[in-house]
Structures are given as structure tokens and as C-alpha cells.
Structure 1
Amino acid sequence: MRNVSRGDDPAPASLGVKNRNGLTELDRVRAHLQSPASGVAFPFKAYKHDEVKRRLDAIFHGKCAYCETFYSASAPVDVEHFRPKGSVSEDPAHPGYWWIAMAWDNLLPSCIDCNRKRKQHMVASSASLTELRENMKRQPSTQSGKQDSFPIKDGSPRLQPEDVVYTAEQALLLNPCVDVPRDHLEFVFDGTPPVSLVVPRADPDPSERGAVSIQVYGLNRLGLVQERTRVLRHLEFLGDLVLELGELIDQLAQPVVVSALAGTQAGTVAQRLQLLLDRTVTEMKAMASPTQPYSAIAETWLAAFAEKLDRG
């Protein structure tokens, strides 16, 4: 998960469209809840509009807001309500945040695994992706996925109908458009070769919001860990290549070698190796771009790699 800014992007016009009677969806929800038929769930539709999906897709670069997976590769996007619209699983008496079901700042794009309550295998640690899959088959699966979950800090008041002062309730889930995920989440590279896991950041105590978000969104589910680990191991390969190329270039820069190669075609080898090194570094940096899947882990790994280079 990484922070994403909506900037001054206005809400899609489709969220405020009025019907033939001049009523917005919010107007219709209010009327529905006051009617005798209010026991029937209101059919929210505005958030499903294609314009909403296109705008979210552009802002998040086609990635799930929570796990950074390219959702279009496996399934259509779920337009997710950060504060659930119809009910709250942790508070059965609460009607759900129906009054912001069509609020632009409450909508996020999500893959089905982060958004829908499903049984998933959660990963602890293993060096082999093949062994990881086999080991997890023998372990019980657990429920993960946000769905109607919206836990808040103990003692915090939950927002009541028509209240839009979000800061009044202390959400335990991270919102990538509001929070800075790296303040609460930390990627660790466990094992040899490493596996990519995410843990609550400890500063000095483990972040409660980080821990709850990992559990609810299922950020250590098997398939996700495997995909992040593939990115991690590609970075490790490129990093080793950069170090090896750097050593070769340094060796070729020795005066005795320069003198021996002067005037030969081999004299351009160092330049060609430097070009290859530069292209490799560029590819590594590109993996941390917000447009790329799992860019947060790439960003974390590159920072550690830069420190390694500085230490020599």
C-alpha cells in the first residue's frame, strides 16, 4: 500500500446525477429510509457508474488501493466504500454509512481479494515459493477481506447518519488517500532467498492500525506474498548485477588495464558496461514508480540497497 493523492480532482458528475423527479441518489436514500419499506436494502447505483471506475483507474494507475495488484489482469475492479455503505460488521446496530455511499472521497478501487470476505491462506515464512504453496495447503485458511468491516479505536465515537466530520471517529483501517501507509506498515525480507512480508511498523510499539489493516485486507495472503516476492527477487537479481558490473568497471579502470587495452576494440568495454549498469539502475528505479505493481516494496528495497552502496 502506498499513499495516493486525489489532488483537487472533483467528484465525477455521475455521482450527483438527478433522476426524472429531480432527486439525487442521496435524496432517494433518505426517502427510502423514512418509508415503510426501509427494511429492504436500498439499491445503490451511482458508485458503479463507468465514469467513476475510469477516474479511479486513472488515479490509482489500474491498481488495487490496498495491495497494489493490477486488478485488471485477473478480475474487474470492485469500487470499494472505505466506510461501508449498508452495514458495519463490528457494529450490527449501525445502519452503515449510507449518506456517503456516493461521496467521492469514500470510494476506492479494490481487487476482490482485498474487498470481499474470503477464506485465504496467510503466510508466515518460507524461502521457496513452491514450498510456500505446499506448506500453506496443510494449514487452515482464515477469513480476510474488508467487505463490511470498519473497526474503530476502542472508546472512539462512530459517525452517525449525516455526520461528515470524519476525524471524529478514529478509524483502525488505513486509507491510502488520507494516511501515509509507510508510517504504519513495514516490508520485511525474510529468509534466504527472501520472501516479502508486511508487518506493523514499530515506533516504538507495533502500529495498531497497521496490524488491523494487514489482517482485514489480507496483506499477507499467499497469492499476494508470492507476487510481491517475485518482484523482490527480480530486484535482488538486478541489484547483484549492478554490483558485479560496478566491480568489472572498476577493474577495467585500473591504469595497467587501460594501458593494455588502449587502441583496441576491447578499450570500449568499460563504456559498454557502464551503459548496461545505467540501464539496469533505471529499470530498478522504474519498479518503484507509482504506476507499477507493488511499488511500495520496490521503494523500500531500493532505499536499503542505496544504504548498502553508501556503506561500501
Structure 2
Amino acid sequence: MIKGKQGVIPSELDLSDPSSVASKETEKAKVYFSPGPKPEKDFQFNAYRHTSLKKVLAKSFNGKCAYCESYIIHIRAMEIEHYRPKKAININNKLVYPGYYWLAADFLNLLPACPACNQLRKYELEDGTCITSGKGNNFPINCESKRATMPGEEIHEQPLLLHPYHDNPHEHITFLKTGLIHHKTNKGLVSMEVYALKRLELVPRRKEVIKGVQVDIRVIIDAIESIKEATNIRQLQRHKSSYNRHYNSLKKRMCSKSPYAAVARNILHKDKVLKDIKKLFKEELSEALERVYTPIGT
């Protein structure tokens, strides 16, 4: 999970425009869920299903799940996830109605998710145990007495789930060399459990990224060491080419477009390791060039 970059709100979901699809539906929802008798027919939330939203979210999150960073193969496989559940909330294993109906079409409450993160399912963990996990209608907060029941009250809540627009996930979760995910904070722990980020199927995918990063670093170190021993310009060019190829590979692994970029960033401590590597490379290359081009006997 990495911090997301908010895209442009589709006109259909522009709540500042009273004539938008989202605004009209939100006003109807407020009337429907106001105190008093309810019609027999359930309220239907449809604004968030608009095709334009899927396209914006797919672009904003580079075709990846906002939670686990797996590629969502096709736009039809993408599920629009409500950070705060729209219809009902799971509180102590009981569905409590209504949910955050006034946020059902709020752009910042909508995220792209893969079915595995979004739906309640049984998963196997590394130790062989099975758990039921997934976002579903879960939305735990720090103090239940501050649970919002009316529009605007949500600002008083303290969510226990990471939001990719508002939080920096690397401050709350980290990754081990085994591919397992680990928490730094309680918010990170709850998010791991609710978003099913501990599921076994993600471990080998993360390990593959970790292995790739380790290989790139090893080749880069070898290239820099070889530059120290180079005696001619051809050798320097060959080792420099090897360095550049694997340095760019590390940058690509950290890129938001790459799957499991959070894992690569975790190993590289965001970009600190890259900066140190680049600094060392420039220093050794400069010395090597001076050595190679200095005439013998001078």
C-alpha cells in the first residue's frame, strides 16, 4: 500500500454541482434516511457505479488495488470500495444500519480494490491457520461513542484504517525479507487485518520484488567495485552501463506504476539508498576517469 494521488473528480460525481448525478442521489439519500417511516423499497446507490469513476481511479492508482497493490487485470474486475461503508457498518460482528449514506458518492470515499481485499473471504496465513478477512462493511474507529450517524459528524472520528489519500502507509506498515507484512502502529495492524494484507497469496509476490531489489543492489555494488579497478575507458563504459541498467531497475521497482512498490521502497528506505548509491558511483567514476586519462609518468 502506498500513498495515492487524487485524480480529477468526474463531473458526474462533483458534489459541488447541485445538478450532478452524485448531488441528486445524495440529497435523495438524506431524505430517505431522515427520521421517520421508510418506504418498503431499499434505497439504491448507483452514482458511484458510473464508468467515468472507474477510469479515473484506474488511472490514479495505475491499474492497481489501492490496498494490496496487485494489478487489477481488467477494469471490469475492479470493485469500487467505500472507505466508509455506505449501507451498513459491521460493529462487533453485527450489521448496524444505516451506514455513511451521505458519503456513498463522495469521490474521496471511493477507492479501487481487488475482490480479495474488498470482500470477506477465508484466507490461509503463513503458519497454516485460516482467517476470515476483507474490507466488507468494516470500518473500525478509535472510539465507538464518536461514530458518525449524521452528515458532518465523521470529522470527529478517528479511523483505524489507513486511507491512501490521507495517510502515509510506510509510517504504519513495513515488510520483512520473507515477504511477510508487519505493523509499526496499531492503525497499521488493524489495516493489515481488515484489508486482508496478511493473506498467503501475497507473500511470494512480495518476495519476488525483494529478490529483484537484492539482485540489482548486488550488481550495482559489483559494478562500482569494478570501476575502481578499471584500467581503460572500455572497461569503465561497460561497468557504467551495468550500473545504469540496474540503477534504473531499482527506480522502476519503486515507481507508483509497479506492483508492490511499497515493498521496494521499504527496502530502499524510500530513496535514501538510491541517493547513497548514486553519490558513491559518481565519486568512484570521477576518480576512475581521472586515473584512466592521466598520462603515465605525469
TM bucket normalised to smaller: 0.7 to 0.9
Q: Give the conservation status (yes or no) of the 8 Å contact 1:196–1:232.
A: yes
Q: Deviations over 1:76-120 (max 9, x none)?
A: 111100000000011633410011100111101111111111111
Q: Deviations over 1:165-221 (max 9, x none)?
A: 5330011011010111111112222xxxxx2122111xxxxx111110011111121
Could you tell me which of 270, 282, 291 is aligned with 2:236?
270
Alignment of 1:90-109 (within 5 A): 90=91, 92-109=95-112
Q: Distance in 2 between matches of 1:123 and 1:284?
A: 28
Q: Give the conservation status (yes or no) of the 8 Å contact 1:156–1:170.
A: no
User: Which has the larger displacement, 66-75 or 233-242?
Assistant: 66-75
State the secondary structure of the residue aligned to 2:210.
helix
- Structure 2 equivalent of residue 11 of structure 1: 9
| Cα RMSD (Å) | 2.9
- Structure 1 equivalent of residue 226 of structure 2: 248
Deviation at 1:39?
Answer: 5.4
State the secondary structure of the residue aligned to 2:220.
helix
Q: Deviations over 1:213-243 (max 9, x none)?
A: 0111111211111211111111112222212
Using a 3 Å threshold, how does the CA distance of structure 1 residues 142 and 26 change in structure 2: closer, same or farther?
same
Q: Give the conservation status (yes or no) of the 8 Å contact 1:2–1:180.
A: yes
State the secondary structure of the residue aligned to 1:287.
helix
Could you tell me which of 177, 180, 183 is aligned with 1:197?
180
Using a 3 Å threshold, how does the CA distance of structure 1 residues 22 and 44 change in structure 2: closer, same or farther?
closer
The one-letter amino acid paired with 1:283 is S
Pairs aligned (count):
272
- Structure 1 equivalent of residue 151 of structure 2: 162
Q: Distance in 1 between matches of 2:225 and 2:68?
A: 37
Consecutive unaligned residues in structure 2, runs of 5 or more = 281-298
Q: Give the conservation status (yes or no) of the 8 Å contact 2:160–2:190.
A: yes
Q: Distance in 2 between matches of 1:249 and 1:145?
A: 50
- Structure 1 equivalent of residue 45 of structure 2: 44
Q: Deviations over 1:6-39 (max 9, x none)?
A: 2xx55322225989x9981113323443685545
State the secondary structure of the residue aligned to 2:91.
coil
Q: Deviations over 1:56-89 (max 9, x none)?
A: 1111111111111111269711110000000001
Normalised TM-score (structure 2): 0.82
Residue 237 (structure 1) aligned with residue 235 (structure 2): no
Q: Give the conservation status (yes or no) of the 8 Å contact 1:41–1:86.
A: no
Q: Give the conservation status (yes or no) of the 8 Å contact 2:86–2:99.
A: yes
Using a 3 Å threshold, how does the CA distance of structure 1 residues 87 and 39 change in structure 2: closer, same or farther?
farther
- Structure 1 equivalent of residue 26 of structure 2: 26
The one-letter amino acid paired with 2:190 is V
Consecutive unaligned residues in structure 1, runs of 5 or more = 125-138, 190-194, 202-206
- Structure 1 equivalent of residue 78 of structure 2: 77
Q: Distance in 2 between matches of 1:2 and 1:61?
A: 12
Using a 3 Å threshold, how does the CA distance of structure 1 residues 85 and 22 change in structure 2: closer, same or farther?
closer
